[in-house]
């Protein structure tokens, strides 16, 4: 659009505007590194005063800010992304953008870990009780619990992984001026 004189009119997309992005990259807390590139496309157009200024399907690019692999006993996987450019699919014009950092932390595995330790301990106690009574139950529980603990100590927790097609929602932290 122009103002009638052939001069393009600029529109400002406000800070706080939500961007819904469908990823075109695979990223993960255990597979990505800070500064790795990440890309996607807008799922919904950006509008100002009811008019589309950046159509859906426009490219969005950014970087991995943080990628932390889960630990064996402590530390959950964590992945953070931030987007820094927007390329209109209508005009191919590229605009610098600033978004809030999108972060996801892997779920805790404490309940699973407790079951991994507790079930072998209980099984060992039952077998020990059948074979050697009360003293056998205590020995069996210790042996079973030790086996479960060894499994927990040698296994990493869950990771954060996003594949192509994953949907992210981020907000602009600064306004973006685009020509329409």
DSSP 5-54: SSPBPEEEEPTT-EEEEEE-S-EETTT--TT-EEEEEESS-EEETTEEEE
Return the pLDDT at 3: 53
∠ CA 162-64-160, nearest 5°, is 30
What are 27-47's pLDDT values in tens digits?
999 999 999 999 999 999 999
pLDDT in tens, 126-180: 444 555 555 655 555 555 545 544 444 445 588 999 999 999 999 999 999 998 6
> Which two structure tokens, joined as six digits, stand for 10?
């600029």
d(CA 8, CA 10): 7
Q: What does each C-alpha distance from 143 to 118, 131, 133, 148, 152 come to in angstroms?
A: 11, 14, 15, 9, 15
**Pick from 21-35, 41-55, 67-81, 121-135: least confident:** 121-135
Specify the DSSP class assigned to residue 166: -
């Amino acid at each position: 659009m122009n103002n009638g004189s052939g001069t393009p009119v600029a529109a400002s997309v406000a800070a706080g505007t939500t961007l819904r992005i469908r990823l075109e990259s695979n990223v993960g807390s255990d597979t990505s590194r800070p500064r790795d590139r990440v890309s996607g496309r807008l799922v919904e157009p950006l509008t100002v005063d009811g008019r589309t200024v950046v159509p859906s399907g426009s490219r969005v690019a950014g970087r991995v800010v943080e990628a932390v692999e889960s630990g064996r006993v402590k530390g959950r996987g964590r992945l953070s992304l931030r987007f820094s450019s927007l390329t209109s699919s209508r005009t191919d014009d590229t605009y610098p953008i600033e978004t809030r950092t999108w972060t996801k932390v892997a779920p805790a595995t404490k309940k699973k870990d407790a079951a991994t330790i507790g079930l072998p301990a209980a099984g060992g106690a039952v077998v020990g009780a059948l074979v050697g009574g009360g003293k056998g139950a205590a020995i069996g529980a210790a042996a079973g619990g030790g086996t479960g603990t060894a499994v927990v100590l040698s296994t990493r927790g869950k990771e954060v992984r996003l594949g192509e097609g994953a949907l992210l929602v981020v907000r602009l932290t600064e306004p973006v001026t685009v020509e329409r």
